[in-house]
Structure 1
Amino acid sequence: MSPLEILYQDEFLVAINKPSGLLVHRSLIDKHETRFAVQLLRDQIGQKVYPPHRLDRPTSGVLLFALDPNIARLLTEQFTQAALEKTYLALVRGFCAAEAVIDYPLKEVLDEIADAQAAQDKPAQTAITQYRRLEQFELPLASGKHLTSRYSLLELQPKTGRKHQLRRHLKHIFHPIVGDTTHGDGKQNQLFREQFGCERLLLHAQTLSFLHPVNKVTLRLQAPLAEEFVQVLQAVASNNLLVGDLDVCS
């Protein structure tokens, strides 16, 4: 396996560009998986790493680690208090508004195994996502009763950190993310597999801006899109019936 792409490293922190399909750490959800970002990065840099946040397994992009538990605690506080900025890139079904805020509370997602003892009747939690549309695509591919298929490329900024927030919020407004096998549209996912060879969730954690817990300088980390994501966007753009240039693949 190729080494993990390191985006930033100093004596306190290290950040990688997590590939789609890689779990952050060992999970009861998939007992048979043997590859985890925590272990791979530990072996790659030769020291323990501590994740102050998570990315869903199918999501790619910026994943930050601390190099000792105290730094991890300070970073976790920033994530918990939303004292940082995150941007994601997603391709979704349909034409979205130019910009909008999704303010829709979400009930906590509990795992049947790991959260078996947790209260099952917790009230929904505040969840807010802001987005702006970067591009629109209309493809000459039949979709249901329509002769064409429409999609939007969005920049997403979650203002809260609920589990699967972006995927659930986009489903809520009827613009599910392409490739989402849990909250998405199965027919659209199949269309992208057949037409573009897309086997992944088209959601990428593009940037993470936060205050360095030691030197107090604001860091802005950016993860380039994986080649398979770029190839899908380029294929979609080349088949677009609308006028416009795509300039987000670098």
Structure 2
Amino acid sequence: MHANYCATQRIGSLDNFWWGCKRMISEVPEIRVVYQDDYLVAVDKPAGLLVHRSPIDRHETEFAVQKVRDRVGRHVFPVHRLDRPTSGVLLFAFSAEYAGMLGRMWMGKEVSKQYRALVRGWLNGAGLIDYALRYRKDKYADKYKRDDLPPQPAVSEYQCIERYLLPYGVGRYPQTRYSLVSLYPQTGRKHQLRRHMAHVRHPILGDTTHGDGKHNKFVRGEFNFDNLALTCTQLSFVHPITAKRICISAQPHFNMAALIENWQQYRV
């Protein structure tokens, strides 16, 4: 386990977690500023919002970069990215210089990241997934990359928070099992958490690329959940200017929070 995570990062207070989930259920899925100083700003990115313009989604007109710029009244520079369907803490800098400093910290594994996810099946305790991932080229952004790149080292930690037993049959089973987990990526490969959880046969709910279509259809039809159940809930790092450690947190997006709240009756 990473020694310099915040003291509350591994599981934290479940009371605060549930309070945050209940609050998010009633909120409109708009972008929210969760941290700001003279150098950095972090927002809670809604699911479904692109970080910046992409040739893959040419029809889109709204992006996190644009929304954050309009919200704070200053130009902002993305420090990292979240996949379009992933919600949670997204960090920007107010200059290219500060973004470069944080980018180097990212590359040097000096930033601790925590995600929460709902996955198929029951996970027990904590564990580590050390499984190299072959780079998956993007049709547009990576068209000049080599096709013969070797698999890249990829490491993720997980910790089970809660388990649920739902009295619904999916496939050949009369009941259905799910887990709420915390995930800690130690590397930053494309779709790493989604691919790692699929690799250990606990795919993330709502993942239309690496997930389980039967379970995605079930939660969509039975619980009206049509999102990816993955959110970045915390970033922790030493501020590159003030040298103080900061922790920036957010709760799961409102649809995921509503599903977790609903499933409390099925907790085991």
* TM-score of the two chains, using structure 1 as the length reference: 0.94
1:6 equivalent in alignment to 2:33? yes
**1:4 CA displacement:** 2.1
1:15 equivalent in alignment to 2:42? yes
Q: Which has the higher contact order (CA 8 A, sep 6+)?
A: 2
Q: Which residue of 2 aligns with 1:98?
A: 125
**1:175 CA displacement:** 0.4
Match for 2:126: what amino acid?
Answer: E
1:34 equivalent in alignment to 2:70? no
Which consecutive residues of structure 1, in runs of 5 or more, have no partner in the other structure? 244-250
Q: What is the distance in 2 between the residues matched to 1:166 and 1:16?
A: 21
- Whether the aligned pair in 1 keeps the contact of 2:203 and 2:212 (CA below 8 Å) is yes
Q: Output aligned runs, 1:46-57, within 5 Å.
A: 46-57=73-84
- Whether the aligned pair in 2 keeps the contact of 1:3 and 1:44 (CA below 8 Å) is no
Match for 1:59: what amino acid?
Answer: T
What per-residue deviation string (whole Å, max 9, x for no partner) do you get for residues 100-147 of structure 1? 100000111210112111101100111000011001111001011110
**1:3 CA displacement:** 5.4
Q: Output aligned runs, 1:183-202, within 5 Å.
A: 183-202=210-229
**1:31 CA displacement:** 0.7
Q: How many residues align?
A: 241
- Whether the aligned pair in 1 keeps the contact of 2:29 and 2:46 (CA below 8 Å) is no
- Whether the aligned pair in 2 keeps the contact of 1:97 and 1:133 (CA below 8 Å) is yes
Q: Which residue of 1 aligns with 2:85?
A: 58
SS at match of 2:162: strand
1:122 equivalent in alignment to 2:178? no
**1:227 CA displacement:** 2.1
Q: What is the distance in 2 between the residues matched to 1:7 and 1:48?
A: 17
Bigger share in helix: 2
Which consecutive residues of structure 2, in runs of 5 or more, have no partner in the other structure? 1-27
Q: Which residue of 1 aligns with 2:239?
A: 212
The alignment-based identity, stated in percent, is 45
* TM-score of the two chains, using structure 2 as the length reference: 0.88
Q: What is the distance in 2 between the residues matched to 1:188 and 1:64?
A: 32
Q: Output aligned runs, 1:154-173, within 5 Å.
A: 154-173=181-200
